[in-house]
Structures are given as structure tokens and as C-alpha cells.
Amino acid sequence: MNKKFFLLIAVLAVFSLTTGIASAAPDFAGKTIRILVGYSAGGGYDTYARVLSRHMGKYIPGKPTIIVENMPGAGSLISANNMYRVAKPDGFTIGHFNGGLFFNQLFQEPGIEFDARKFVYIGAAVKEEPAFAFSKKSGITSMEKWMASKTPVKMGGVSPGAYTPDNVIRIIKAALGLPVQLVSGYKGTADVRLAVEQGELAGTSWGWASMRSTWRKSLESGEVVVILQAVSEPFPDLSKVPLAINYAKTEEARSLIEVGIHSPSIFARPFVLPPNTPKELALILTKAFNETLKDKEFLAEAVKAKLDIEPVSVSQLEKAVNSIFKLNTAIVTKLKDILFK
């Protein structure tokens, strides 16, 4: 009798424990998740987020609705700060902003209200590997013409510290001695594109994966020409376009391109959760993010939109972000002079 009693108690205890765990598991049924994008609608960050939002919900318990909300300003700094200070760590807000702002923290620039090392990363859909494009009517249709320009060439940016366009333009200008006048302050690359097409700017730079999708018509018509790529290996569809690092004449110039452009491409387009998000929630959303990037319907839409998908894992993001806070003082000082003076 006693044995049966204790057996019954044990069974009830296990049942109670397992049901407790099941009921504690997050359920997003009937809920809405926001992807907070730091730029205006129509740009590369926005485009990736919107395609992702249409497919990711089916991999999250309860299949919630996912919407994109744009919070442009200061090169996506407003949204980055919002994710750190305001967004609740409840799994209902995912941030997508310019990871180049992490250098602003390294340089102790004003306006930074976050610690990049405390965001909870869930991945990135692609690296931000920059290409430099100019309108045909600007006359800058090759590197030779750019180098030979007798006046500074107007290029569009969004805010100091943004990896693209601003940082890469400033670094290429300094490393290669190119004539450039950076005109910053645009709300996003969609606004920069329009300014180039209207003749207000000659050109700009941001990730080729995004550029070839969002600027597709102008590139295909030849109205916009890519003349340089700032990557370690050329893109297959830009095999005849020269690499920036091959124009570097000194070791310092090569180092600036490698440390300031090549390496940060890994964390330039992160998807993040607020600090202190519970591990269980982070794991659910990370798994959903990764499953989405393998989803056939998602990939078909990405191909149609000419969006490259080159997943970056959480561990890769964390390693790359932590690495910039370990750079030697000399290169940090040099980069700060280039990017903020």
C-alpha cells in the first residue's frame, strides 16, 4: 500500500513538473512581433527585414504576425538606442540597425546609449560587403576617372559612424587618397539613391547584396555603374570590377581597409534582441531566424528580389563585435581621426 502511494505521488510530481514546463514555454499565438528597422522604407535594411517578416512567423510557437516598423534617424542610432534602453526583453521586438555604430561606442562618441556587447544577437542574413556606384551622368564611370577628378566627387551618407555609406567612404578616401566630398544626413539609402538619380550626388557606397536588389533597374540600364568593390574577394557578378585593397600603396592603407571595412562587414547588418532577453526566448527566435533563412519560400522570394543570403551565426557576430574592442590603440586613434574629424 505504501509503495503504491509513493509511486502515485512520484507520478503526479513528474506530471506536475512537465506540465509546468510546458505551460511556461512562450506562446506567441495571436501576438505581433515588431522588427524595428533603423532606416526609412525602401532601403536595403528595410527590404531584408520585410522579406524575413513574411516567413519567420511560421517557425515561432503560435505563429505570430511579424511587422516591420521604421525608426530612421542619425544613421539608425535612434533605433539602436531604443532597442537598448526602451524595448522590453520579452521577445516582441527585434532590432535591425547599422552595426557600424559599434565603432562609435569604441571611440566614445556622443549619442551612444548602448553597449554593443550586451545586445542579444540572433544572427544576420548577409554580410555588408560594399560596392561603390556612381551615376553615368556624373562622369565617374571608372576608377581612373575618379582618381583623375580635379574636384571632390559628391557622395551620399546617412550619419557619422554608419558602416555604409559613411565609414567605408571616409576610409577609402583616406586610404587611397581619392577626391571625395561626403554629404551626410540622408534618412536611408533609398533617399541617397534618389539624390544620385536626381543629380544631387555623384554616387555612394553600401553592400552589393542590397544594392543590386534595391537599385536594380538603374544598374541594369547602365544609368548607375559600379566601379569599385571593398571586399577581400571579388563578387562573381563583379569579376571585372577592381578591389579597393589593390589600390593601397602602404601597409597602413591596407590595414585601414582590412580593419575598417573587411572585418566589420560581418556585424554591419545584425538582428538583435534587447539586453537581458531570457535565454529561452533568444533560442526560440534564433532558431526561427535560422530556419527562415533555409525556407524554400523565403529563398524563392529572396532570389526574385535579388537579395543575397549569406547567414552569419550568433557566435560569428559576437566574436566580430568583441574583436573591435581589442584593437590596438594606434589603429583605433587613426580610425577615429578618419571617421570623425
Q: Render pLDDT for 283-325 as a digit per residue (tens, 0 to 9).
A: 999 999 999 999 999 999 999 998 999 999 999 999 999 999 9
Residue 8 has pLDDT above 90, yes or no: no
* Identity of residue 194: L
Cell of 62: 503560435
- Predicted local confidence at residue 6, as pLDDT: 46
Q: Which of 6-15, 142-151, 221-230, 298-307 has the lowest mean pLDDT?
A: 6-15
In this prediction, residue 12 has a pLDDT band, given cuts at 50, 70 and 90, of very low
Q: Which residue in 315, 308, 305, 311 sits closest to 289, CA to CA?
A: 311
Who contacts 77 (Cβ-Cβ below 8 Å, separation ≥6)? Answer: 38, 97, 101, 104, 111, 112, 159, 161
- Predicted local confidence at residue 27, as pLDDT: 82
Average pLDDT for residues 56-73, to the nearest whole number?
97
Q: Are 158 and 192 in contact (CB under 8 A)?
A: yes
User: Rounded to the nearest 10 degrees, how much is the dihedral formed by the CA atoms of 254, 258, 262, 267?
Assistant: -150
Residue 46 has pLDDT above 80, yes or no: yes
In this prediction, residue 269 has a pLDDT band, given cuts at 50, 70 and 90, of very high
- Predicted local confidence at residue 91, as pLDDT: 97
Q: Domains, the chain, ranges and CATH?
A: 32-126+267-328 (3.40.190.150), 130-264 (3.40.190.10)
Cell of 130: 560594399
- Predicted local confidence at residue 341, as pLDDT: 80
- Predicted local confidence at residue 2, as pLDDT: 53
In this prediction, residue 140 has a pLDDT band, given cuts at 50, 70 and 90, of very high
Q: What is the pLDDT of residues 24-43, one digit of tens each?
A: 457 899 999 999 999 999 99
Q: What is the pLDDT of residues 174-200, one digit of tens each?
A: 999 999 999 999 999 999 999 999 999
Who contacts 294 (Cβ-Cβ below 8 Å, separation ≥6)? Answer: none
Q: How many angstroms separate the CA atoms of 167 and 103, rounded?
A: 10
Q: Are 183 and 225 in contact (CB under 8 A)?
A: no
Q: Which residue in 243, 289, 280 sits closest to 130, CA to CA?
A: 243
- Predicted local confidence at residue 26, as pLDDT: 73
Separation in Å, CA 65 to CA 32, 36, 43: 5, 14, 22
pTM of this structure: 0.81
67 phi and psi angles, rounded to 5 deg:
-120, 160
Residue 240 has pLDDT above 70, yes or no: yes
Q: How many angstroms separate the CA atoms of 47 and 331, rounded?
A: 34
Please, what is the average pLDDT of the chain? 92
Q: How many angstroms separate the CA atoms of 14 and 35, rounded?
A: 38
Q: Which long-range contacts (CB under 8 A, 24 or more apart) does 294-300 make?
A: 295/55, 295/59, 297/55, 298/51, 298/52, 298/54, 298/55
Average pLDDT for residues 126-137, to the nearest whole number?
97
Average pLDDT for residues 60-85, to the nearest whole number?
97
In this prediction, residue 15 has a pLDDT band, given cuts at 50, 70 and 90, of very low
In this prediction, residue 116 has a pLDDT band, given cuts at 50, 70 and 90, of very high
Radius of gyration of the chain from its Cα atoms, rounded to whole angstroms:
23
